[in-house]
A and B are shown apart, each in its own frame.
Chain A
Amino acid sequence: MGFLLGVVRALSGLNETVLKAGRAIGIAALAIMVAVTIVQVFQRYIMNNALAWPDEAARFCMLWMTGLMAPTAFRRGGFVAIDILPMMLPPLLARVLNLILLSLALAVMVVAVQIGWREVTGLGGRFASASLFLPTSLDLSTWYRIPRSWMMASLPVGLILLISVNIELILRNLAEIVGARDLPPIPTGDGMDTGARGVD
């Protein structure tokens, strides 16, 4: 019991720290998405000189935003689900059901992250970006064409974070089943509560 609580506390703290960094990057990514899209409208409509890179750069940011924000949403219970059955069951049964559901989700994510990693390192990751480059010398004379793997890594990274959250949730659930009552709460601060469940 004490050991379980200790593990929950440690993992909870770790997730909190890592996801906080993820949120910061996700927020920056959204800001960049807006900025480059506006730059493109300006360039095309006002300057009559459309750019090739804003589309891909914005998608790059959106993928990483999704990968880095989704684990926080999952941890705070923000994934859309029909919760009639869990709400109708008595607390203990509901927790057992929740444990089953979390394990199913874990299985999905473990399979997905393996495929995801193969994808990043496979042929698909070798496709060169059509428009994104990084300078490889200080005088900007040589450029490196960013491979698709840099974008594709967003999903496996997101899945690893989701798995970490999922394990924390499973352990919390177990701890609650064996009667633990003083678990560290999952903070819902910075205005990002789970009231916003989706696009509706």
Chain B
Amino acid sequence: MLIWFLPLFLVFLLMGLPVVFGMLAAPGIILWLNGQERDLTLLYRNLYNGIDSFPLMAIPFFMLAGELMNRGGITLRLVEFAQALMGHLRGGLAHVNVLSSMLFAGLSGSAVADTSALGSMLVPAMEKQGYTRRFAAAITAASSVIGPIIPPSGIMIIYAYVMGESVAALFLAGIVPGIMVGLGLMAVIKVMADRYDFPIASARKSWPERGRASLKAFWPLLTPVIILGGILGGIFTPTEAAAVAAVYAMVISLLVLKTMTLSELPDVLGRAALTSAVVLLLVGAAMSFKTVVSLSHAPQIMADWILALTANPLLLLLLINLLLFVVGMFLDAGPAIIILAPILAPVFEGMGVDSVHFAIIMCVNLTVGLATPPMGLVLFVAAAVSKERVTTIARAILPFLAVEVVVIFLITYFPALSMTIPRLTGFAD
């Protein structure tokens, strides 16, 4: 039985085999045991062809744009802008932390980049004002998950590619959920700020001061406008938008803001290329894996199995959210999407859940999983930038996680929250 490749894969994964090898080894071994040697070629060919794709090129391009944005300067300007708007509130820097993440999310598609760029700047600043270090690290980690929810988003590019969805539709569907997470976190901060008497970061800024701060942040803040405007206006495809974003980031950091020199460029390119190569190989292996998912009829088997539990779609979505949440505790969002989307998405589409809506549920849930203990990637990054212990941050982050779970349920049971923008713009039906 070909379907045994799934438990075998799970064993390999838990043993610690890199995901990319597990996705090739488990199906390969079962095909071989089944005497289907000729299908090993199919496995290899999908690995190669999975990488050979134009839409996928958005990944290295957005990686590059993110690396460029991270090179100082740009992040600082975003934080100053956020501070001019919200610094005067009680718990000002905590609000600034969240708002900066929302702004940063429009430039970058990665939660890790958000945590490391904003955390290294804001955690020390918050500590100096009297916040505890664990609180500062926790709010940094909790708000960084907005990065891949508000477009652009690395994991949405992967989801769209592996499942044949429109990147533009997923990007547009992520806008409202991303803002909801941000506002939810701010609400929690407001409650805590009043109760624990959080400090105020700075005096209320006058409007001319705010004007100056937004002028300084103007060029970086233009990036999401260029990306989404260019896609919606037909100037370029999502993939090309990513290349334009990379070149734009290069131009503003080299020429306009002068926060980077030409000699740093090879390093930046190298980092982007290195990270991209890992992701691309993973996506290629996912396409191989998906082939065997088809050959083994796993979605049908899974559908029978799930429907035996209950046929109520609302209940099933609850179960799937629980499953995704648990998976997100142990696995990064990208690999989890690559492994689970081909198995789960067909089941729910068969039950009438809109494919874009399901994609958003999955992406947001697994992204929040990046900030959950024990294996949350951004917890580790937050620990590294703050020098606080992971377990300490993991406790402090719980109230913020609670609000993020509420957002997951809202977008699950009110499809209009995510679907309205893509529908109005004609990118989803």
Please give the residue numbers on chain A whose beta carbons come within 8 Å of chain B beta carbons, in ascending order. 23, 26-27, 29-31, 33-34, 37-38, 40-41, 45, 55, 58-59, 62-63, 65-66, 68-70, 72-74, 78-86, 97-98, 100-101, 104-105, 107-108, 111-112, 115-116, 118-119, 124, 151-152, 155, 190-192, 195-200
Report B211-253 CB contacts with A as 1/0, cut-off 8 Å.
0000000000000000000000001100110011011000000
Taking a contact as CB atoms under 8 Å apart, the answer to whether A200 and B333 are in contact is yes
Q: Which of B16, B45, B54, B281 contacts A81 (CB 8 A)?
A: B16
Q: With A84-B375, A115-B41 in contact, is A200–B16 under 8 Å at CB?
A: no
> Is the C-beta of B14 less than 8 angstroms from some C-beta in chain A?
yes
User: Contacts A196-B112, A196-B275 known; A62 to B57 CB distance under 8 Å?
Assistant: yes
Please state if B274 and A196 are interface contacts (CB–CB under 8 Å).
yes
**CA separation between A6 and B104, bound complex, in Å?**
49
B413 CB-CB contact with A under 8 Å: no
Pairwise interchain contact A27-B278, C-beta atoms closer than 8 A: no
CB distance from A41 to the nearest CB of B (A): 5
9 tightest A-B contacts by CB? Answer: A69-B277, A199-B154, A79-B18, A37-B243, A196-B275, A115-B44, A70-B277, A81-B18, A199-B334
Count how many pairs of residues, one from A and one from B, have CB atoms less than 8 Å apart in the complex.
Answer: 219
Question: Given A34-B247, A58-B54, A200-B154, does the pair A80, B20 have CB atoms closer than 8 Å?
Answer: yes
Contact status A27-B24, CB under 8 Å = no
B139 at the interface (CB under 8 A from A): no
Contact call A27/B266, Cβ cutoff below 8 A:
yes
Q: Is the CB of A200 within 8 A of B112?
A: yes
Chain A contacts for B275, CB-based, 8 A = 73, 78, 196-199
Do the beta carbons of B54 and A55 come within 8 Å of each other?
Answer: yes
Q: Given A30-B269, A30-B272, A82-B16, A197 and B332 touching (CB < 8 A)?
A: yes
> A84 vs B269: C-alpha distance in the bound complex, in angstroms?
32
Q: B246: which of A34, A73, A151 is its contact (CB, 8 Å)?
A: A34
Q: In the complex the two chains form, what is the Cα distance from A151 to B52 in whole Å? A: 9
A112 and B24 form a contact (CB under 8 A): yes
Whether B273 pairs with A198 at a CB distance below 8 angstroms is no
Q: How far is the CA of A68 from the CA of B278 in the complex (A)?
A: 11
The answer to whether the Cβ of B358 comes within 8 Å of any Cβ in the partner chain is no
Q: Tell me whether A198 and B279 are in contact in the complex, defined as CB-CB below 8 angstroms, given that A55-B54, A82-B14, A192-B270 are known contacts.
A: yes
Asked whether any CB of chain A lies closer than 8 Å to the CB of B162, the reply is: no
Q: Which residues of B contact A84 (CB under 8 A)?
A: 14, 16, 330, 374-375
Residues of B within 8 A of A74 (CB): 18
Nearest A residue to B370, CB-CB: A200
Asked whether A101 lies within 8 Å of B16 as measured between CB atoms, the reply is: yes
- Chain B residues contacting A31 (CB-CB under 8 Å) are 269
Cβ-neighbour of B273 out of A30, A97, A116 (below 8 A)? A30
- Pick the contact of B44: A34, A73, A119 (CB < 8 A): A119
- The interface residues of chain A, by DSSP majority, are classed as helix
What's the minimum C-beta distance from B371 to chain A, rounded to whole angstroms? 11
Given known A26-B273, A108-B24, contact A200–B17 (CB-CB < 8 A): no
Is B344 among interface residues, defined by CB-CB distance under 8 A?
no
Contact, CB under 8 Å: B273 / A59: no
Q: Once the chains are docked, how many angstroms separate the CA of A98 from the CA of B247?
A: 41
Q: Check A79–B278 contact: CB distance below 8 A.
A: yes
* 13 new A-B contacts at CB < 8 Å, known A79-B20, A112-B24: A73-B275, A73-B277, A79-B278, A80-B19, A81-B17, A82-B14, A84-B374, A85-B15, A104-B21, A115-B41, A192-B274, A195-B112, A196-B275
Task: State which of A55, A68, A80, A190 has its C-beta within 8 Å of the C-beta of B332.
Answer: A80
Provide the bound-state CA to CA distance between A196 and B271, in Å.
8
Contact among A58, A62, A83, A197 with B280 in the assembled complex (CB-CB below 8 Å): A62
A65–B276 CB distance below 8 A: yes
- B270, A26: Cβ atoms under 8 Å? yes
Asked whether, in the complex, the Cβ of A37 is within 8 Å of the Cβ of B52, the reply is no
**B residues within 8 A CB of A115?**
40-41, 44
The contact string, 1 if C-beta is below 8 Å from chain A, for chain B 136-158, is: 00000000000010000011011
Q: Does B64 contact A (CB under 8 A)?
A: yes
Is the beta-carbon distance between B277 and A63 smaller than 8 angstroms? no
Residues A78 and B41 in contact in the complex (CB < 8 Å), given A85-B14, A199-B59: no
- Contact pattern, B 77-89, Cβ under 8 Å of A = 1, otherwise 0: 0000000000000
CB nearest neighbor in B for A37: B243
A residues less than 8 Å from B154 (CB atoms): 199-200
Given A62-B60, A107-B25, answer yes or no on A155-B47 (Cβ-Cβ < 8 Å).
yes
Closest to A101 in B: B17
Contacts of A97 in B (CB 8 A): 15-16
- What does the 1/0 interface line of B36-53 toward A look like (CB < 8 Å)? 000011001101100111
Query: In the complex the two chains form, is B16's CB within 8 Å of A83's CB?
Result: yes
**B174 contacts the other chain (Cβ, under 8 Å)?**
no
A interface footprint on B319-336 (CB within 8 Å = 1, 0 otherwise): 000000000001111110
Digit string of B266-307 for contact with A (CB within 8 Å is 1, else 0)?
A: 111111111111111110100000000000000000000000
